[in-house]
A and B are shown apart, each in its own frame.
Chain A
């Protein structure tokens, strides 16, 4: 994990340096003197050789310093922290929707394999994956806000409320719902073919007990761990949804920053998202030992 983190920092640093335009000039007024240029350069630490800059960069990051916004001079870290809760709430809400809706659908589709319901679910899932979520967002706003007037067209609400959360969370959840339903279905099908399911049936247990207790427990292992991975991807993918719904989260921050050429902010968000992904991946790997007793045993044995 450490080398990957290092690589991520390196990549972000490299991108920041490839960005066209002189960052020193961006910070100065239109009329400037040589002296002012040199002072600003020193201030930004850009007069030092690249590897020293990189070292400072890493040191800064480890101390929580992600640079300063070009536009507002505020620390990037502060701005990200301000916006993080909104994105987090959105992502968690989407995850909840995914879990609550698609897992039962996947189970039912598996139980009724090859029936009309199964077929409908699978086609529905295929459509769900294929839908561009920003377009879905726009269409949904069209229907529920502009035509029906049931839901607000954007923003988070002042103070933040649930009504504003519904549409963005649902749109964000759509492709992941589709993926999870398919995964649940195929995991269930695989588990239901196992010998221990037949053995459990031979003991006379009713089908619901077989499905809910014996089959589900094993089928859920890959599904739940997959959900964990999706959560970290969601944090990045939420950008488009935040733009469409004017949701004040990290993604919207990054987008505005891109438009304003405020690169420190952009890179700060990108870095954070990557780091979160790596950490979540690690947690998911560790969680395997909790879910699957066989792996627990192996790690114990060493």
Chain B
């Protein structure tokens, strides 16, 4: 171990067995998250990023999904070997998760207070008054004004931003080692997004919690993550620290993603969209999965699957084009 690793995902494969065939949602993913680090997982819808997150907590809907193989080490302990009961003491306590749609992620029939207190009581126990005080403190730590009143309200009475703060509060209630964030800002408006991300950054530096941050938005990614992995069709195609990834992208897909992002700092007439369509995960393309849409593709790309190679220190790419020194259109 070079740095203090909290989570190590090793060759994870999660497949979905449907009537149309086997969907290889996560097809051999390797990822490491160190203490206090914020690692991002970025890609289009269907790239497998959410399912990777769900696999860590073993929340993959079964049927039709199943974690086929791999190891997920939390501080060295393989989560995939644990019993369901043991896993439950991990969920919410060692690893917590916040979700994309805050308005539907809370039970509409219970007050905010009862749901926060339920989580606190379950993992930490205590008298009602202690639990309530902890709940109030939590709400204050996520900068919710008038926390006492919020405790008595129902989820539909709060805005998306407020609900997300509550979810973060619940997530952090047991001081987990890892917080998984599955596109927590996608459903929020831009200014609320900014507030939530600022909050998350603050909390991370205060508590040294690690983040696994999933998003499709490169802007959000660069703001909150120190490292990031780009996923495409169930595989990781590039991994680097955030600066290198954004400024010196090496995989054609990453370049295309960056190219397709609207930017304020340069004039452009049209956004470059990535040609072609999202790959069929039941029958993925032969060889490199991106090759049908890749402008730098050569014959080897359609025959062999590229593996992640360390290009520079800490910058990994899975692509054949790089070794030929071919630099495709720069963003």
Asked whether the complex places CB atoms of A and B closer than 8 A, the reply is yes
* A204–B105 touching, CB < 8 Å: no
Q: B93 near A202 (CB under 8 angstroms)?
A: no
Q: Which residues of A contact B108 (CB under 8 A)?
A: 196, 218, 292-294
A218 and B109: CB pair below 8 A? Answer: yes
- Tell me if A261 is interfacial: C-beta within 8 Å of chain B: no
Pick from B59, B89, B99, B107 the residue with the most CB of A within 10 Å: B107
In whole Å, how far is A192's beta carbon from the nearest beta carbon of chain B? 10
Residues of B100-124 at the interface with A, using a CB-CB cut-off of 8 Å, are: 101, 104-110, 118-119, 122-123
**Chain A 194-219 against B: per-residue CB contact (8 Å), 1 yes, 0 no?**
11101111111110000000100110
The number of residues on chain A lying at the interface, defined by a beta carbon within 8 Å of a beta carbon of chain B, is: 20
A297 at the binding interface (Cβ < 8 Å): yes
Is the beta-carbon distance between B99 and A201 smaller than 8 angstroms? no
Q: Which of chain A's residues have a CB closer than 8 A to the CB of B96?
A: 202-203
Q: Which of A265-302 contact B (CB under 8 A)?
A: 292-294, 297
Q: Are B154 and A297 in contact (CB under 8 A)?
A: yes
Tell whether A294 pairs with B156 under 8 Å between CB atoms, given A195-B101, A196-B106, A203-B96.
Answer: yes
CB distance from B278 to the nearest CB of A (A): 23
Q: Which of A195, A199, A200 has most B Cβ within 10 Å?
A: A199
Within 66-102 of A, Cβ neighbours of B (below 8 Å) are at none
Residue of A nearest to B57 (CB): A202
B107 touches A200 (CB 8 A): yes
Contacts of B106 in A (CB 8 A): 196, 199
Q: Smallest Cβ distance from B109 to chain A, in angstroms? A: 5
Q: Is A214 within 8 A of B123, CB to CB? A: no
* Residue from A198, A292, A297 in contact with B109 in the complex, judged by beta carbons closer than 8 Å: A292
Whether B156 contacts A203 by the Cβ 8 Å rule is no
Map CB proximity to A onto B67-104 as digits: 1 under 8 Å, 0 otherwise. 00000000000000000000011111100110101001
User: Are A218 and B107 neighbours in the complex by a CB distance under 8 Å?
Assistant: yes
How long is the Cα–Cα vector from A221 to B123 in the complex, in angstroms? Answer: 29
In the complex, the chain A residue whose C-beta lies closest to that of B94 is A204
Instruction: Determine whether the beta carbon of A199 is less than 8 Å from that of B99.
Output: yes
Interface size on B, residues (CB 8 A): 28
| CB pair B99 A195 closer than 8 Å | yes
* Contact of B157 with A by CB under 8 A: yes
Q: Given contacts A205-B122, A293-B156, is CB(A214)–CB(B107) below 8 Å?
A: yes
Does any Cβ of A come within 8 Å of B245's Cβ? no
Q: How far is the CA of A294 from the CA of B109 in the complex (A)?
A: 8
CA distance A218 to B108 in the complex (A): 8
CB-CB under 8 A from A218, the residues of chain B are 107-109
Whether a CB of chain A sits under 8 angstroms from the CB of B170 is yes
Q: A198 and B99 in contact (CB under 8 A), knowing A214-B107, A217-B107, A218-B108? A: yes
Which residues from B are CB-within-8-Å of A196?
A: 104-108
The distance from the CB of A228 to the nearest CB of chain B, in whole angstroms, is 18
**CB-CB contacts below 8 Å: B178-232 with A:** none
A105–B154 Cα distance when bound, in Å, is 31
A143 CB → nearest B CB, Å: 42
Q: Given A198-B99, A294-B156, verify A203-B122 contact (CB < 8 Å).
A: yes
* Cβ A205 vs Cβ B109 within 8 A: no
Q: A204–B154 Cα gap in the complex (Å)?
A: 22
Q: Which residue of B lies closest to A293 (CB)?
A: B154
Contact A202 B109 (CB under 8 A): no
- The interface bits of chain A over 219-239 (1 if a CB of B lies within 8 angstroms of the residue's CB, else 0) are 001000000000000000000
A202 lies within 8 A of B156 (CB): no
Contact present for A297 and B57 (CB under 8 Å): no
* Distance, CA A202 to CA B170, complexed state (A): 11
- Residues in B with CB closer than 8 Å to A293 are 108-109, 154, 156
**B104 engages A204 (CB within 8 Å):** no
- Across-interface contacts of A194 in B (CB, < 8 A): 104
Apart from A202-B97, A204-B88, 5 more pairs, CB < 8 Å: A196-B104, A201-B91, A202-B91, A204-B122, A206-B88
26 A-B interface contacts by CB (under 8 A): A195-B104, A196-B106, A196-B107, A196-B108, A198-B59, A198-B99, A198-B105, A199-B97, A199-B105, A199-B106, A201-B91, A202-B96, A202-B97, A203-B92, A203-B122, A204-B90, A205-B118, A214-B110, A217-B107, A217-B109, A217-B110, A221-B109, A292-B109, A293-B109, A294-B154, A297-B156
